[in-house]
Amino acid sequence: MINTPVCIIGAGPAGLVASLFLSKHGVAHTIFERKKEIGDKVCGECYDGRLANVLNKLDANLLPTMLAEQVLQPIEQYQYFNHKGKGLYIDAAKHNAVSRYSTYRKDFDTFLRAEVLKSPYARLNTGETVNNIVTHASGIEIITANTSIKSELAIIATGNLSMLANHARQAMPDHFLLAARGYYRHLNITEPHGFQVYLINKPVNGYLFINKLPKGLYTVEMFILKRYANKHGLNAEALLQQVIQQQPQVSRIMASAVLVEKIKGASLPSTANKHQSFSAERVLLAGSSGSGVNPLTGWGVGHAVFQGMCAAEQCVASLQAQQYGAEYLQQYDARLKKSLQNDWEKSQQVDFIMRYLHKSTGRFIGYAASNNYLNRIAEKAIVGV
């Protein structure tokens, strides 16, 4: 049996950031990731300001380096179009404000993993699935097919539908979206760093996103309620292509587009868990294992890296105090709820709007496009100015 102070399960943004903060504090740890290669993921390429805040706390040079190497790119223009093609345009650049960043997700995870591997405190095991977690009075045991590791604490960052996450949490998401994503080049978009949202109503209500990524790449994503897809027997990949063809503005933009990778679909939770537990005895949940937000908010990875930072700092405090019980670890729960509660409530509002106020959203976009007061409200909500 191998012994290590902390074990991290999952090498996505939450797990990798947790590792980097543990290394910063000089805490030895082992990371398990079931995939040998950096995994592909639908969604997770538009990041809010929490990412920049966490990176700056970790190392002031990280964000400038990621921008210089085109791992990240600031989003400066936002456009929102309703069903009739009427658009609301917001220019963040005029405020010298960067509220969001875009990335090609594989590049983002690859960069963070390379940073993790530089540390003498981190040991990364890939291609190894954790089969069970057993809590003892003297520690927690992480069991895989090939090995067994005993640690004082475990950070579970394995995704929103992982059964391992049930070790601590009390609730599962109750609403799901059907998502589809394709990577393209050569779109007819003039804005250098733009983000576009289209409300769609054919064949069902939903949303289409076009996001310009670094290095001339674009991601085109579609989200609809999964219950609509089930009712109409819709296939995510085919539906994305159908929506592109039926939306006149989008079809013009993509007239010369070249698909870079095969379109991929996924089922994603859309509701933040209510009354969520983020910890149990010797266990901390981070990233979407701990809580989810509606993907339309773009807060998922920002929350994940923030939780990874908080989980690492809680581990450091617990190791120093030699306190690993559920009651002591509730400090972690309290910190997350204090910092993220407002976002979770807004995410639930987005859920409600998506399910019941799709037409009203379209009308608001139409009004805001020609009303300075409404335009200012939308600008403040999106850019924070």
Distance, CA of 105 to CA of 170 (rounded, Å): 30
Question: Per residue of the chain (385 residues), what is the pLDDT tens digit?
Answer: 778 999 999 999 999 999 999 999 999 999 999 998 887 788 889 998 899 999 999 999 999 999 999 999 999 889 999 988 888 888 887 776 677 999 999 999 999 999 999 999 999 999 988 888 888 888 999 998 888 899 999 999 987 655 566 655 555 555 788 899 999 999 998 877 889 999 998 888 899 999 999 999 999 999 998 888 787 788 888 889 998 998 889 999 999 999 998 999 988 877 655 557 889 999 999 987 666 788 888 888 999 999 999 999 999 999 999 999 999 999 999 999 999 988 888 888 888 888 888 889 999 898 888 888 888 888 777 766 4
Give the tokens for residue 364.
Answer: 């608001």
Pairing of strands 194-200, 77-81: parallel
Q: Which residue has the tokens 């037409």?
A: 359
pLDDT on residue 256: 94
Domains of the chain with bracketed CATH: 2-73+101-172+273-351 (3.50.50.60), 176-270+354-383 (3.30.9.100)
What is the SS3 assignment for 111? Answer: helix
Quick one: which of 281, 308, 338 has its CA closest to 134?
A: 281
Cβ-in-10-Å burial (0-12, 13-18, 19+) of 248 comes to: exposed
Give the tokens for residue 90.
Answer: 């917001």
pLDDT on residue 273: 59
pLDDT on residue 115: 97
Phi and psi angles of residue 63, each rounded to the nearest 5 degrees, phi first: -60, -50
Distance, CA of 326 to CA of 280 (rounded, Å): 5
